[in-house]
Structure 1
Amino acid sequence: MKIISWNVNGIRAVVKKDFFENINQLNPDILCLQETKAQYNEVEKALAPMTTYHKEYNSADKKGYSGTAILSKMEPTNIKDDMGIAEHDEEGRVQCAEYPNFYLVNVYVPNSGQQLDRLDYRKKWDADFLNYLKDLEKTKPVIVCGDFNVAHKPIDLKNDKSNYNKTAGYTQVEIDGMDNFLTSGFVDTFRHLHPNEVAYTYWSYRFKARERNTGWRIDYFLISNSILDKVKNVNICSDVLGSDHCPIALEIDL
């Protein structure tokens, strides 16, 4: 089974940039999208050509902001939006698809803000999201994928020293949040398989960042430790354009 996760930075824009050709080539069994930036009917219209997939969308209350989507060739036995916590559930950031042998959670973690003005909120969000995942894990193993908005280690961003505790995505609070996911029994699949590989999933549109490969690895597949032996491969598809993020791919036997 192949699962693709991709922050598309606006579904209505990305579908005009070889999106369908790229997805056909990647051929995922399940596709998780983040930052759709559209309301339900707009996402439905944009993804109408994808007729071989069951489609589920979670849009933010605020128009043109955030939002997630899951497209799956096999129909989930159940799908739920959000964490069930009022302060977190207005931005369309979480979807959970249940399958016979696992839960798949699609997430777009809140950015801490240019002035780090959402850092306190982010700390609470990370803690609540981890509790949500651990509750799911009591029933069956969990795969969680998406944009976590944090580079975990110095290897995960080009300019670690100049960004540390100054830039959203590389503060100690956010690093601690990712540490907590990993010490609680989830595994960063890419780093597990590729401990020393420098690879990024996000490049700013400014300063020719992608051309210069001045990037960040902030998109992840985290999985329950109990299914780690089922992982076949994890790829960062850095050659796929259309967004300021690239897709990431997990191949797993479940």
Structure 2
Amino acid sequence: MNSTPLRITTLNLNGIRSAASKGVDAWLREHARPDWLCVQELKALDTDMKPELRTLGGLQGAFHHAEKAGYSGVGLYFRHEPDALRIGFGASEFDAEGRYVEARYRLPGGMQLALVSAYFPSGSSSEERQQAKFRFLAVFEEHLKELKAQGEVILCGDVNIAHKEIDLKNWKGNLKNSGFLPEERAWMSHVLDDLGYVDVFRALNPNPDQYTWWSNRGQARAKNVGWRIDYHLATPGVAALAQRGSEAIYTAERFSDHAPLSIDYALPF
């Protein structure tokens, strides 16, 4: 059994080829060294995935590509070979958009663990997309219940929701904007308070000004006018294995309009 904490990093790449051109692979190999890497917004079809993109950070990857070229797509890279992989979560409307990869492990001591990379829809482009986002949240809530009933879960990814006022700089100006709508925030509260998931980063770090995404407009990143919309959501048993002080949002280099979020877990491998 491995007593060394194992690192899980999540990052919305805003295009895997773009992020690769900005040095994300070297950062992963030399600095972050995650055991699992959850990525979102591949913006690449399977035919676009050159060998160096399939083994990012020296890890082996599994992918869920969108049917539409240059759109969405997620990946999950792993150092430890899963016992099972699942591509898509069974909702045809959203599986066509490439939003879900799950790696399942049977660990020593009987723990069943599902590790998920997920990309929730954004509703910011139109009312039509906002309604699609609400449909996603409704169907994905049922999936979260099913996952939790099967064992421990760590879901990492871009949820496209800032939960509380502390989770974005300009909350007063965004009360009617997608990503901070009352219905979206209530959904997050329901997942945490009623379904029993844990917002692991926030459990470890109660401090303000902790953001993972910044608009490309108006020097938002330089001024840290950001949003925290990238999460580790975990069931309580495995959330309790998260190592306080390991949580890190990496901003020294820029691979995307999002920043990588890493947390170490004392998982019994």
Q: Supply the AA of the counterpart residue of 2:43.
A: K
Q: Does 1:160 align with 2:171?
A: yes
Which amino acid in the other structure matches residue 174 of structure 2? N
Partner deviation per Cα, 1:126-147 (whole Å, 9 max, x = no partner): 1211211221222210000100
SS of 2:128's equivalent in the other structure is coil
2:121 aligns with 110
d(CA) in 2 for partners of 1:62, 1:122 = 18
Structure 2 unmatched runs, 5+: 1-5
Superimposed CA distance per residue, residues 69-99 of structure 1 (whole angstroms, 9 cap, x where no aligned partner): 1110111111111111212210000111101
Q: Please list the CA deviations of residues 30-69 of structure 1 after superposition, one character each: whole Å capped at 9, or x if unmatched.
A: 1111001000131344515648422111100000000001
Aligned to 2:224: 213
Shift of 1:106: 0.7
Partner of 1:92: 98
Q: TM-score, normalised by structure 2?
A: 0.90
Higher mean displacement: 2-11 or 39-48: 39-48
**How much has 1:172 moved relative to structure 2?**
1.1
**SS of the residue aligned with 2:240?**
helix
Aligned 8 A contact 1:43 1:57 in 2: no
CA distance, structure 2, for counterparts of residue 2 and residue 68 of structure 1:
19
* Equivalent in 12, 15, 18 of residue 13 of structure 1: 18
Contact 1:202 1:218 in 2 (8 A): yes
Aligned residue type for 1:36: L
Aligned pairs for 1:1-254 within 5 A: 1-24=6-29, 25-48=31-54, 50=56, 52-100=58-106, 101=111, 102-165=113-176, 167-183=177-193, 184-232=195-243, 233-254=246-267
Q: Is the 8 A contact 1:239 1:246 kept in 2?
A: no
Provide the alpha-carbon RMSD of the alignment.
1.5
Partner Cα distance (2:63, 2:105) in 1: 17
Of stretches 235-244 and 145-154 in structure 1, the one that deviates more from structure 2 is 235-244
Task: Quote the Cα distance in structure 2 between the aligned partners of 1:48 and 1:104.
Answer: 18
| 1:51–1:200 Cα change, 3 Å | closer
C-alpha distance in 1 between matches for 2:122 and 2:99: 11
Q: Aligned letter for 1:90?
A: A
- Aligned partners of 2:94 and 2:13: how far apart in 1? 21
Q: Per-residue deviation at 1:174?
A: 1.2
**Which residue type is aligned with residue 242 of structure 2?**
V
Structure with larger RCO (C-alpha < 8 A, sep 6+): 2
Cα–Cα, structure 1 residues 59 and 79, in superposed 2: closer, same or farther, change >3 Å? same
% of aligned pairs identical?
A: 36
- For normalisation by structure 1, the TM-score amounts to 0.95
Write the deviation string for residues 197-221 of structure 1: whole angstroms up to 9, x where unpaired: 3210000111111111110000000
Paired with 2:58 and 2:223, the residues of 1 have a C-alpha distance of 37
Q: CA deviation at 1:29?
A: 0.4
Distance 1:56 1:160, change over 3 A: same
Aligned 8 A contact 2:123 2:130 in 1 = yes
AA of the residue aligned to 2:183: V
* Preserved contact between residue 167 and residue 208 of structure 2 (Cα < 8 Å): no
